[in-house]
Chain A
Amino acid sequence: MEKKENNVFKNILAIRGMGQVMTVTCGLIVLCIAFGILNPSFFSGRNVENLLRQIAPILIIGIGQSYVLITGNIDLSIGSVVGMSCMISATLMTKGMNPWLSLLVTVVVCVITGILNGLLVAQYKLPPFIATLGTMMVARGVAQIVNNNYNTDAIGDAAKGFRDFFYYGKTIGVYNTVWIAIVLFLIFNFLLSRTRTGRHIYAVGSNVDAAKLSGVNVVTTTIKVYIVSAFCAGVVGLITCATAGMGTMDAGNMYEMYAVAASVIGGVSTLGGIGILGGTVVGAMIWGVLQNGLQFAGAPVAIRNIVIGVIVVVSVLLDVLIRTRAPKKKV
């Protein structure tokens, strides 16, 4: 028995979704080599640093979206929550509020949005697509109304600490943005893979009836994943605010799609129940490498979008094909 348990590599490979993560990791390596050959400066220290900083926000919102997708739902409001978070924090800071207090207020507002999403989907049984489409509009509206339909002024020197913490500062030679992403990844990966809440999240996505009979509170679990998603989006909004040094109303535009891309490329199933956050990391890196590499190769934005769009569709198609063709018990 012990021998079996100690076969770590075999056990890791046997984790559901790990196969796809391995495949996309190979794809990522191939992409890096290809872009490195096309343009040797792709591997320059400065580019790698920037690349990681570019990937970090996508990874963070990808984590949130992965949580939601694993329960078999989707969150379309991520981009708007990013915008709302950016605008609320910037507005409060320009009005003279302490940056850290404004950060706290912003996060609370984002979490409330998450609770609202969760309630609409789990308690009131709205289709997640419609519910989060609604909150997407509402959150974007809040982002616009919070400063009377104007972008904010610069958040100023008083928020220097805030800007350093979220974007410009470095710790042990690595940008803080990257550290934030790493810390959030470690926390949420631990929650998902090692705790009861994590098991409940997989259970809801895998078989909601069985989950109910096994004592899982589906409403609470669903609300929790939407809170995680909104929280992550809120953090990215703060990063966006620190990056620009001001609040912009269209911040986070299309981010929900980037989050879906990072998740599904990394093997998180849109049908629920399958996915690991390690995959989301690889998915976010593929997204970042493609953006960066194609930019280096001189490809226009349109081509970059087309390439990423095709990869997303192929990833989802593969997932659906694998799951529908897998042999199922006669139930």
Chain B
Amino acid sequence: MREEVFRMSGVTQENSGIQTLHNINLNIFKGEILGLAALDDLGLDDLVSLMCRNQPIKYGKVYFKEKLVNSGTKQGVTTNKVYVIEKESKLVPGLSVADNVFVLRSGFKKYLIQPAVLCAQVEKHLRELGVSVSPRALCEELTGYERCVIELLKAVLQGVGLVVLREISDILGRADLEKFQKIVSDYAKEGISFLYICSHHEEAFPFCHRMLLLEDGYLVKVFEKDEMTDENIEPYIIKIKRKREAQPEKEEDSGSILAFRKVKGTRIRNLSFEVKKGECITLLDNDNYILQEILDLLMGAQQAEAGKILLGNQVYTCRSGADALDHGVSIVRENPLKTMLFYEMSYMENLLFLVDRKLNKTMILKKIQRSVINEFFPVLGEVMYTRNIDTLSLEDLYNLIYYRVILYKPKVLFCVQPFSGADMYLRKHIAKLMDECRAQGISIVILAVRLSDTLRVSDRLYVIEHGQVQKEYKQDEYQTEFRWQNK
């Protein structure tokens, strides 16, 4: 009989009066990689939290290594030996890899630290994993892949029984993800258990031993290895359908709106691509190497060492974010709820934030506000009068972000990892908003390290490796090539 590492039995949980988990039954065996695809966000935080900490639950029981650790009646909060690797790093950025792995862990009793000994040990482990990182390197200097490997190593050396990998494909590029999954598989063979949480079943299917489907706080389906097929999961998922009729006719003959011509930077090497009016393209940076540099070039934080960027027929030169906007280049960053909104301002103040720049007016007149309300009320609704945008739903907040762009109507919109961290319903909504942008004649460039749903909205795909375009795919070409990441 297989040894069970973790079990939840009939767990129901409430958070702020909302039932977030409904009668959850799951178990994870030793050495197993269990996938968990969440169709929406509800309950996911609580589920992960209950795996790590034995906090009060409404009903049910939780077992860790076959011992009852939490039940509805049990008092006091204890923790389980579970480590979560997610977007937010748990390494201390200002300390070295060796310090993070060995010194900053429970059970490290030594008072005097021998850096040479620690470094030698870390080096040995890293060599076994095939990662070339100096143990003396500061954690703030690590790449996403190195950070994940170091965190995994730290978890293993701490002796945790279960590692939760949460949406790691948001951190790792395609190539890095494959390498990391290989390391995870090797550790699983040594008896470490994993819960692999992702938004796309296609990501989990080839990698996991079993997969659970979580929707609305319910576990709606458990897929055994032989059941993991597209046909079996089809009834449970929603697909993003592209609104082709919304696109204006592409101006094939008029040339590109924006073009990079053999642009060279610190990491970028001879990068060339172009986007036409109303078109959407994706730049897939397989090794997560140059996305920030592209943004720096667009925002004027960095100048190209060679080559040129053309906006229309003009050479694009920019000194600041304001300059970029004036040229008609707008950016929606990754995690836009955090990076694009002003939570101290009202909905209308957020929506109109770029309008004064567009109209070049010091004050926004009431009649302009009224005209915006009249135009967008049928689409955005009552929420336009919201003072405290903290209270809005995710869909409404994304509407606010993208309709602000539509109101400004730039020539090109750069979206950085637009689907990152979004559940299936939200991804569909974001795709709809992108369609709306394109319908307004705004060209979109998606900067991504994983494809997620980007291909559903893209006309073309550029695969970038080591700072330059490796291959360009047209829409009909990439469907088979990137099948698993394409839904």
What is A's interface to B at a CB cutoff of 8 Å? 1, 4-5, 14-16, 194-197, 199, 202-203, 205-207, 209-217, 273-274, 326-331
| Interface magnitude class on chain B | 35 or more
B74 CB to nearest A CB, Å? 28
**Option from B322, B342, B392, B397 in Cβ contact (under 8 Å) with A210:** B342
Contact flag A4-B354 (CB < 8 Å), given A16-B344, A213-B333, A273-B342: no
A216-B385 Cα distance, complex, nearest whole Å: 24
- Are B377 and A205 in contact, with the CB atoms below 8 A? no
A–B pairs, 6, beta carbons within 8 Å: A4-B385, A5-B370, A202-B345, A207-B342, A209-B338, A326-B390
- Are B354 and A214 in contact, with the CB atoms below 8 A? yes
- Are A216 and B344 in contact, with the CB atoms below 8 A? no
Contact flag A212-B394 (CB < 8 Å), given A195-B363, A331-B338: no
- Are B353 and A214 in contact, with the CB atoms below 8 A? yes
A328 CB to nearest B CB, Å? 6
A203-B357 Cα distance, complex, nearest whole Å: 14
The contact string, 1 if C-beta is below 8 Å from chain A, for chain B 248-272, is 0000000000000000000000000
Known pairs A207-B342, A327-B390 / 15 extra A-B pairs, C-beta < 8 Å: A16-B345, A16-B387, A16-B388, A196-B356, A196-B357, A196-B362, A199-B353, A206-B342, A212-B299, A215-B324, A215-B354, A273-B342, A273-B343, A274-B344, A329-B397
Please name all residues of chain A whose beta carbon is closer than 8 Å to the beta carbon of B322 when the two chains form the complex: 215-217
A327-B344 Cα distance, complex, nearest whole Å: 13
A25-B340 Cα distance, complex, nearest whole Å: 34
A273-B362 Cα distance, complex, nearest whole Å: 20
- Are B321 and A213 in contact, with the CB atoms below 8 A? yes
The contact string, 1 if C-beta is below 8 Å from chain A, for chain B 31-71, is 00000000001000100000000000000000000000000
The contact string, 1 if C-beta is below 8 Å from chain A, for chain B 337-381, is 111111111100100011011000111000000100110010000
- Are B356 and A207 in contact, with the CB atoms below 8 A? no
B295-354: which residues lie under 8 A (CB-CB) from chain A?
A: 299, 320-322, 324-326, 331-333, 335, 337-346, 349, 353-354
- Are A329 and B337 in contact, with the CB atoms below 8 A? yes
- Are A273 and B337 in contact, with the CB atoms below 8 A? no
A326-B388 Cα distance, complex, nearest whole Å: 11
A216-B346 Cα distance, complex, nearest whole Å: 18
**Option from B325, B337, B344, B363 in Cβ contact (under 8 Å) with A331:** B337
A197-B364 Cα distance, complex, nearest whole Å: 12
- Are A194 and B344 in contact, with the CB atoms below 8 A? no
**Option from A194, A206, A215, A328 in Cβ contact (under 8 Å) with B325:** A215
Please name all residues of chain A whose beta carbon is closer than 8 Å to the beta carbon of B331 when the two chains form the complex: 213
- Are B390 and A196 in contact, with the CB atoms below 8 A? no
B114 CB to nearest A CB, Å? 36
B416 CB to nearest A CB, Å? 10
- Are A330 and B339 in contact, with the CB atoms below 8 A? no
A274-B335 Cα distance, complex, nearest whole Å: 23
Please name all residues of chain A whose beta carbon is closer than 8 Å to the beta carbon of B363 when the two chains form the complex: 194-196
- Are B337 and A195 in contact, with the CB atoms below 8 A? no
A5-B335 Cα distance, complex, nearest whole Å: 32
Please name all residues of chain B whose beta carbon is closer than 8 Å to the beta carbon of A216 when the two chains form the complex: 321-322
A327-B392 Cα distance, complex, nearest whole Å: 11
